[in-house]
Amino acid sequence: VHELGDGYAWEVEPNGAALSATEIAFEGEVELNGECGEGDVDWFAFDQTVEGEMLKAEIVRSGEAELKAELFLGDPTGTGATVDRTTVQPRSLSAAGWVGLRSGRYYLKLECPKRAAYSVRLVRFKPEGPVEFEPNDRAELASELPIGSTLLGRSYGDDDLDLYSLRVTERRIVAVGFSRPDGIGSTAVELISPAGDVIASSTADPSTGEEAYLTAELSPGRYIVSVKSQGERPGSDYRLSAVALESLSHDAAKPLGIGGTITLRVRCDPGLRPTFTIPGIIWDVEMRDEGGGSFVGSYTVKEGDNLVRGLPYVTLTLPDGGRVRAFVEPEVTIDTSPPLISEVRHNAEKPLGVNAELRVWLKGEPGCRAYFELRGDGLERRVEMFDDGAHEDGAPNDGLYGGVYLVSPGDNAEAGVIGYLEDEAGNLSWKEAFSKVELDTSPPGITSWSISLVLDGKPYPIDLAPKKALGRGDRLEVRVETEPGAEVELEIEGFTSLKLRDDGVGGDEAAGDGRYFGAYTAREGDQVENAALKIKAIDAAGNSEEVFLPFAISIDAVPPQIVEVTHNGDRPLKKGDLLIVILRGEPGNRASFNIGGRRDERGELIRYPMADDGTGMDEKAGDGIYTGVYEVRAEDDLRDAPVIGFLMDENGNESVKFASKPLTLDSKPPSPIEGVTAQDKPGDEGYVVVLSWKPCREEDFDHYNIYRETHRITITKGLIPVMSDLTLPEMTTVEVPVPANNVDYYFAVTAVDRAGNESLVREGSWAGPVRALDNIKPEPVVKVSAEDRPDDQGGVIVVMWDTPSTAEDFDHYNIYVSREPISSIEGLEPIAQVTEREAYSAEVRVETNVDYFVAVTAVDRNGNESDLDPLGNSTFGPVRAIDDIPPEPVEGVYAVDTPSDDGGSVTVFWRRSGDESVIEYRIYISEAPIASKADLSDAEMTPVPAEGIGEEMSFQAAVPTGVPIYLAVTAVDLGGHESELGDESVWGPVYAVSNRISAEERTIVYAGFDPRIKVEIPPGSGEAGRTVDILVPTDPEVLDLISRANRLSSLEVSLIDPDYEEFLGETVVQVEYGGRLIKPALITLSYPEFTDDPSVEGKVRIFRLNEEA
């Protein structure tokens, strides 16, 4: 019997079940001993009253049997949960593990298939940092993962799900880092939202160095980080870190080539030490601390660098050694040669001061002892280096060693950094870092300074400057003399800090001479009033000295405010359109605008002026509403381009604002329309032509224009489309109205885009000539009848119908007449046409007393003629024209003696009647006056046919010689009707006289129209057988001679009283004789108008027109 001391325990059989577990009571640590046989299971139990402690277990086993250990919280047969599991493999004698403890009862299960003795050492202690507490497989049991710390976790098998609670108090970019240095499997890490959605995920496996990193921008709330391993050895530890970043970005918006620069910026907890990595090119480059938690890192691409769509990332090292990577989107492409690799490097890019950390890394063979030495100017230090994953050396045993030296007061030297690597055989190799380290713990001294202001390009000492306020473009210059290599800045209180330079450029006269120069040019938006000035010098090691200056400065570079920028480009604008831009802002400034970022040949933005002076399109002067106009040109072609407004005050401060809507300028017309065809629309009354064409394929199609002209269309300028409402590209067939049928028309189709550009007319864009035809006949005319026109002389019938045509395009009625019944109008010509639709009758001229048949049709404007009604309602007959009245009295009747005869004959003259029905004239001769038709009964009548041509008719009638004769002439028509006697139908008296001359006796020849007029020819004066005629002159030549004689003879000479001239005009007598009289003849003239005035005769003169006779 051996009594076990404190800190030892032995299994008490039976303990093969949880309910019979061997009870353990211990404070700090305990060693359990026992033995198990084949199929034996040993259970132990202990109570944990303190929340948040850790339990470490070390298991030692004898023999070669596999020993499995499993730890439960709570009754494993009930609601208990596995919190850890480990196995001592057959070829291994021991195993170790740990677990974070919650309060409750724990059960330890040991199981071995073969007989073996074991020893389990349990150590309970307080953890130094956050650890995982099992179970944590449900959200309500999730272990806390504090932001800004690293948590130690452990996976006991593939069925172990670890959940961690991540609490975010304000919107931040959260980066989570996972690493399992000794991992062999894969681990899925997920970031889950409060709603249960996966926000980000990553997998750690051998290909990633068993590291996984998540980056996401999160709003305030409680999130879950899920860790689930697969194929991992039980009891495998991992580290889980989380940090919150205010911002994270880079400026590589496009692929970079040699000389291109990428700058990364991160704003985070100042205690973090960010480095940035560009995969395959540079790794873990220290980022420059700009103060206030802002870090900047940049890299200039070199030859050999190459990266295709890679994500750069920032590595942030927590104070507890944890590390996360925050990937910076978007992806970056770098195209150059392979990257450089350094074997020994350090972080001392500048001198280091008191308490500064000098970090040195050595890349080499893993599994060796490493250290570095500092040597120079009486300084020698040796520092151990580690490859355990806890010294910013990457993963454990990966060949990257890290070490840190903390600078102490009095360290003032320029030292080389030499890294050493010693293997297990004691072989030692070394390599010196490329750059030396400068350790400087003494502050710099400011020996002199000066301040000047450059106002409108002219420099002034600050105490002599005409103004102390800088405007936009004005410059503040400062010169300071201090220790070379220091960082010198001028702080403008409450505004900015100005870093001074000593590099021989930018106004500095010589590089590295300790004389620093800096300048600040007032920029847009700068504004500060009476700010104090302070010079601060920090040497390369961080030692500092400050000087407050006895001056203050003010800056006013706030640009004027722009409320909005608008324009009238609601639709695309084409050539010739006016773009009107309106800028609303502070009045009294200069405004301009730019279209689409256009630049001139110098690369400067083109600015079009705007006005606020009330002229042009600006409505009111000085109201802050600026107006600019741009006329679109033929070469303008912009799609969704921005319109930018600029407003600049008198100090050069300028505001820029984009219009809320983009602008499209489109001066390019669509392609010409092709495949245009035109044809008459069949089966209609005309006035419509059907057009078809191929559809327009332009993306900015707006509508089609249809043009119609009576001549070929080659250009549409000045033409008005007849249709422009076809707004769908596939609307390629349309019916187009035309003003008239049977007229040649030409058509053109164009496409119009949204800017109003219209396609040109080319071959295939037009069609013609084509005519619209009326293909429909009017309805038959019905209820046709005919009758003789009453109270006329015949020759006319009246054709009637009592239903007007209903054809909309009615033109006229056709009237047909035939002596045969009409069953068809084929071969017939219309005898009359009636154009009035509402006319119900027409008079038609036909022969009198002849049977006729009639038909009536309707004709439209296209020449379509109606058919005859099949029931016979379009025809009528027979019908006759009847003469119902006698002819008009005959006019112009007169008679004269028939000249140059022996007497016994008179010649009767009358005007032919215009009545075509007159078939003969009747000549009535009487020795008694004829006053009425009753006087004709005793007269001798001679009929004369109404034949011949000419307006005047004549007839020679035999009458007694020397007896007064009276005559009358009447007309007789086809109906046998004889005309009445009118004033001009009778004549008389007239005499038939002999005109023959007797040679032996006196011959007296009388005028047949007036027996008082006579010519006495003495015996032997004339030639026997010749004749003398007394005539009323009718020969035009004779009448012309009379007219000329009257013009040549003065009335005063002839003693003719002008009052009687009118009457004497009827007294002209023509005496004709065919020979020459030997003796004078006596002519007796009769003037019945003057017989009652004896004074007249003595004054009458006789004029002989032919004196040679």
The DSSP result for 1064-1096, as a single string, is: HGGG--EEEESS--SSPPEEE---GGGTT-HHH
Residue 11 confidence (pLDDT): 85
CA 649 to chain centroid = 36
Which pairs from 495-499 meet CB under 8 Å and 24+ separation?
Answer: 495/526, 495/528, 495/531, 495/555, 496/520
The CATH code belonging to domain 8-125 is 2.60.120.380
Cα 353 from Cα 544, distance rounded (Å): 10
Cα 939 from Cα 908, distance rounded (Å): 15
What CATH topology corresponds to 133-245? Answer: Jelly Rolls (2.60.120)
- Beta strand ranges found along 670-730 (DSSP E): 677-680, 688-692, 701-709, 723-726
Top-level CATH class of 448-557? mainly beta
Nearest 5°: the CA angle 440, 444, 450 is 155
Domain 562-666 has CATH 3.30.465.10: no
Burial class (CB in 10 A: 0-12, 13-18, 19+), 412: middle
Letter for the amino acid at 324? V
Residue 341 confidence (pLDDT): 38
Distances (CA, A) of 546 to 340, 446, 512, 537: 40, 8, 20, 6
Architecture per CATH, 894-990: Sandwich (2.60)
What residue segments make up the domains of the chain, in order of their start? 8-125, 133-245, 344-439, 448-557, 562-666, 677-770, 785-879, 894-990, 1003-1097
The CATH code belonging to domain 785-879 is 2.60.40.10
Cα 386 from Cα 375, distance rounded (Å): 20
Instruction: Give rounded-to-5 percent helix, strand, coil for the chain.
Output: 5, 50, 50
- For the chain, which residues score pLDDT lower than 50? 337-341, 425, 1050-1053, 1109
- Please compute, for residue 287, the number of CA atoms within 13 A of its CA located in the half-sphere on the CB side: 31
Nearest 5°: the CA angle 159, 163, 167 is 175
Count the neighbouring beta carbons within 10 Å of the beta carbon of residue 230: 12
Convert the pLDDT of each residue in 782-834 to its tens digit: 999 999 998 887 889 999 998 899 888 889 999 999 999 999 999 999 999 99
Put the strands of the sheet holding 247-250 in their side by side order. Answer: 247-250, 261-267, 294-300, 288-291
Residue 425 confidence (pLDDT): 47
**Model's pTM, two decimal places?**
0.35
DSSP string computed for 162-218: EEEEEEESS-EEEEEEEE-TT--SEEEEEEE-TTS-EEEEEEE-GGGTSEEEEEEEE
Residues 6+ away with beta carbon under 8 Å from 391: 321, 385, 401, 402, 403, 404
| Identical fold, 8-125 and 894-990 | no
Architecture per CATH, 677-770: Sandwich (2.60)
In our burial notation (b when 16+ CB lie closer than 10 A, e otherwise), range 514-529 reads bbbbbbbebeeebebe
CA 1079 to chain centroid = 119
The CATH code belonging to domain 344-439 is 2.60.40.10
Convert the pLDDT of each residue in 92-149 to its tens digit: 777 777 888 888 898 999 888 888 888 899 998 898 889 988 888 899 989 999 999 9
